[in-house]
Chain A
Amino acid sequence: GDSVTQMEGPVTLSEEAFLTINCTYTATGYPSLFWYVQYPGEGLQLLLKATKADDKGSNKGFEATYRKETTSFHLEKGSVQVSDSAVYFCALILTGGGNKLTFGTGTQLKVEL
């Protein structure tokens, strides 16, 4: 079946450090890819998305590139802030699969001063 694999957390970084959260996927079809963020006590917010190979999604300094050859969608940010502390979820939707999101397990990010 379709699945998303994310790196285990928690990831602890100092402010202004470089962030990478790895995400790979397995899909029977051609998916659209997403990164969602969840702050404590809240629902999920879409961070960025990419709908076809080589697309780069970006938002709030975060970036991820849809790599079909490596089935990956790694999240990166050049300089993290304390306010970026949250749980990050990689997810996919299959074309023709309705709006069913398949999520990874989530990666908790802690940014310290």
Chain B
Amino acid sequence: DIVLTQSPDSLAVSLGERATIKCRSSQSVLYSINNKSYLAWYQQKPGQPPKLLIHWASTRESGVPDRFSGSGSGTDFTLSISSLQAEDVAVYFCQQYYSAPTFGGGTKVEIK
């Protein structure tokens, strides 16, 4: 199994400030033939199912605000929220789909 480790477990950020979440994979999820990292990010608000935000490590889904951005390749990835809004309070998960899917442990984002 590919293990995904997220950090931090939680963070509190002031409105309008940047939030940064890390996801580290126990092995590379970069497929050399297409040079794509098989890494996605989800947002889960309380009482709701997860919502897919980003795939291929950095490609936003349609309708996702551009304050959300993903970066990284291979084993180290970052989700950034450039200017935190109240509606961004949620738990964020990374997921790899390079092999049998696994998810990170989640990062809870709150307002400071």
Do the two chains belong together in a single complex?
Answer: no
Q: Which B residues fall within an 8 A CB radius of A?
A: none
Q: Which A residues fall within an 8 A CB radius of B?
A: none
